[in-house]
Amino acid sequence: MHKTAVPPSTEPDKDHSINDSSDSHSQIPRRDFIKRTSLALAGSAAASSMLLPTRRAVAAGPTEITFASAKFFGKQTIADIAESYNKAQDKVRVMYKELPPPSSSTEVHQQLVQQLARRNGEPDVFTQDIIWIAEFADAKWALPLDEYFNSDAMKDYFPGMVQACTWQGKLTALPWFVDSGMLYYRKDLLADLNARAPETWDELIDAAKQLTSSGKSKLGFLWQAKQAEVLVCDLVSFIGSNGGSILEPDGKTVRIAEEPAVEAVQLMHDLIRKYKVSPEDVLSWDEEPSRRPFTGGDAVFLRNWSYVWKVAQNESESSVANKVGVAPLPHFPGKKSAAALGGYQYGVNAHSKNREAAIDFVRWMSSPETQLQFALQLGLCPTRPSVLADPKVGQEQPFMRQLKDVFVGAIPRPVTPKYPQVTLVLQSQISRALTTGEVKAELAAAKAKIQTIVAA
């Protein structure tokens, strides 16, 4: 049994992680707050001394809108990008409210739901994980955007993204960035074996076993099995790589207890317990704890999102810079590689009192120019093919072009307004299957629970 030398840390990765676990805090700079407050005071004082209606004083300034998003950052933060919008025009002023990072998916979701359910128009604009689009649309919290972005305008995005942003025929989210799971591997270690990046799980197991038993690598394959959203992402790719699925696109037919899924979850279990190529620690790891031993030079393979690419290449952060390759995740014999579709998209609050301003802001945020900034400054893969084709993206993030098919072909997690309940069932039943080894029984239980949820 391999135990990692790097214990899962709760310390946030300050420099890079878009999936870290640091605290959220508001991003409104203090000086701006003071400036705005004093302006407002001056405005109302002037208004009352001149006996002007206050509404006129307010109407003269920019329309203020609030924008809530999970925390992402690289060379720049979302607050920086929102500030560029504020500087670029004077009609709208965005106040940014930072939520927890995307790896704390449940917490981000909870905070957004609490705000949106009040139906008071706050926040005017939000970003939503791809898995909440159906729920927010069904609850009528997300404004349908078709009248602002017609089908011609939407032709400039990857069709799969437009589909993911559409619920029951209405566009209720505007594409921001796409992410997908991928396989990071050590080029130098595989070269020692004269091996290429593994295409099947058997090849991965074989290479990991050889390299760990010869002492060339401490650990084999790292992934994420913490009882959290990322476990469902990993699950989707294992099941998909065996030709199976969790829930049919009809949103009703549950396939989690069928043979391809059972075999896939058995493999997840066996990687840890039978083949022993994944350390037991994966059971408590989400993105960052699994990433650290890999960029620390202790493992051959890692499943993770695209943010790892930049971290791995950065010498101050990684002891394996220039030694890391990226490939599609492996598959079962005769089947195809599969990746879980991730990423966040923009939503406009259906109750926003500043609808036009909110639309102006999301239009700018999703524009080719801003998507290019997100790709170059924050490492977020564009949802516009024209931006992905920009040579600057090729230079800065070469793997994005190389893995274009992985991004474009990624498989969505179950698409249903009940997703928050479905994911909790999956997280707990799969965790139990991995620790007890009772794969069939746990998947049968998952099927029964999910059927009840989606039938309600």
Residue number, 236 or 257, with CB nearest to ligand GLC = 236
Least distance in Å: CB of 109 to ligand GLC? 9
CB 237 within 8 A of CB 245: no
Give the CA angle between residues 172, 178, 183 to the nearest 5°. Answer: 150
Task: Pick between residue 129 and residue 390 the one whose CB is nearest to ligand GLC.
Answer: 129
Burial of 437 (0-12, 13-18, 19+ CB in 10 A): middle
CB 244 within 8 A of CB 30: no
Token pair listed for 49 = 């001394």
Tokens coding 440:
């069939």
User: CB of 126: closest distance to ligand GLC in angstroms?
Assistant: 15
What residues pair up with 127 in beta bridges, in sequence order? Answer: 346
CB of 275 to ligand GLC, least distance (A): 25
Task: Decide: 323 and 299 in contact? Cβ < 8 Å.
Answer: no
Strands (E), 80-139: 92-98, 125-129
Nearer to ligand GLC, 102 or 347 (CB): 102
- Locate 455 and state its tokens: 């039938």
Residue type, 64: E
Q: Give 205 or 381: the residue with its C-beta nearer to ligand GLC.
A: 381
In 274-417, where does DSSP find H-type helix?
287-295, 307-313, 355-365, 368-378, 385-388, 391-396, 398-402, 404-408
To the nearest whole angstrom, how small is the minimum distance from the Cβ of residue 131 to ligand GLC? 6
* CB nearer to ligand GLC: pick between 124 and 129: 129
Taking CB atoms, the residue at the shortest distance from ligand GLC is 342
- What is the nearest approach in angstroms of ligand GLC to the Cβ of residue 305? 5
Query: Least distance in Å: CB of 224 to ligand GLC?
Result: 8
β-strand pairing of 166-167 with 170-171: antiparallel
In whole angstroms, give the CA distance from residue 44 to residue 40.
6
Q: Least distance (Å) from ligand GLC to the CB of residue 146?
A: 24
Please report, as ranges, the residues that interact with ligand GLC according to CB under 6 A: 19, 102-103, 105, 129-131, 179, 229-230, 233, 305, 342-343
**CB 233 → ligand GLC: shortest distance, Å?**
6
Select 66 or 127, whichever has its Cβ closest to ligand GLC.
127
Query: For ligand GLC, which is the closer residue by CB, 133 or 205?
Result: 133
Return the number of the residue (145 or 235) whose C-beta is nearest ligand GLC: 235
- From the CB of 422, what's the least distance to ligand GLC, in Å? 13
Q: How far apart are CA 185 and CA 4, in angstroms?
A: 17
Q: How far apart are CA 94 and CA 131, in angstroms?
A: 25
Cβ proximity to ligand GLC: between 275 and 285 the closer is 285
Dihedral sign from CA coordinates of 363, 78, 373, 183 = negative
Residue 75 CA from chain centroid, whole number? 18
